[in-house]
Amino acid sequence: MSTNGEATGPGMGETIRTMRQVQGLTLVQLAKLSGLSNPFLSQVERGKAQPSMDSLRRIAEGLGTTIATLTASAHASTDDTDICIVRSDDPLVIIRDEGYTRPLARGTRELNPLEFLVTSDAYEDVYWRHAVAEFLYVLSGSLIVDLADKGIHQLASGDSLYIPGALDHRWRIQGKWPSRALVVQAGPHDDADLEARTTTHETRLP
């Protein structure tokens, strides 16, 4: 790998950071998946280090994507004072076992909008938790949202839910049809604020 001080530019670093955080991965976890060091990945995300093609391939594989997708997505503007347009055919889509996640903005923004397709009728084994608040709007289908101590709630198309920061949550579809949802997180966060996939509770069914 190369750490010669040449910057990848904020576009590539922000793209890698966005994909990592959407998947609930810390830098340590991505380092383990990619076989690269935690400090090097941190420098890449901040545009302070230039990865070789082999390092970029490892990062892409660790994130479950391709170099082509990372490169194409990195061309989008990351300046928070600038507008940001994400086209419907944008290649940055993160495939997950239970559907997909599509970031709807690039860079470090005051709002972090995400589109989710949820296909699983079973909860994940663990909960998600973020320091920032989230707003959930169901675009289609029906979701069962488990908020741990705050109860289990059924949401149909057109329903919305505000989730305060640091509240454990997870979801699944109700029935056999997939559900699409828009989630807007209140501002950027870093690894110190993110505790994803780490909290366990007794599994409860509605």
Domain residue ranges of the chain, discontinuous segments joined by +: 10-74, 110-185
In one-letter notation, the amino acid at residue 155 is L
Model confidence band, residue 46 (pLDDT cutoffs 50, 70, 90): confident
Q: Under CATH, domain 10-74 is a member of which superfamily?
A: lambda repressor-like DNA-binding domains (1.10.260.40)
Can you tell me the distance from the alpha carbon of 85 to that of 24, in angstroms, rounded to the nearest whole number? 24
2.60.120.10, 3.90.170.10, 2.40.50.1070, 3.10.129.10: CATH of 110-185: 2.60.120.10
- Which phi and psi (to 5°) does residue 41 adopt? -60, -40
The answer to whether 127 and 167 are in contact (CB under 8 A) is no
130-155 pLDDT, tens digit each? 778 999 999 999 999 999 999 999 99
What's the half-sphere exposure (Cβ side, CA atoms, 13 Å) at 76? 26
* Dihedral angle computed from the Cα positions of residues 182, 185, 188 and 191, in that order, rounded to the nearest 10 degrees: -100
Q: Tell me the whole-structure pTM to 2 decimals.
A: 0.66
What average pLDDT does the segment 65-77 reach? 69
Cβ neighbours of 119 (radius 10 Å): 16
Burial class (CB in 10 A: 0-12, 13-18, 19+), 71: middle
Can you tell me the distance from the alpha carbon of 28 to that of 41, in angstroms, rounded to the nearest whole number? 9
161-203 pLDDT, tens digit each? 999 988 999 999 999 899 999 999 886 554 434 444 444 444 4
The pLDDT score that the predictor gives to residue 107 is 66
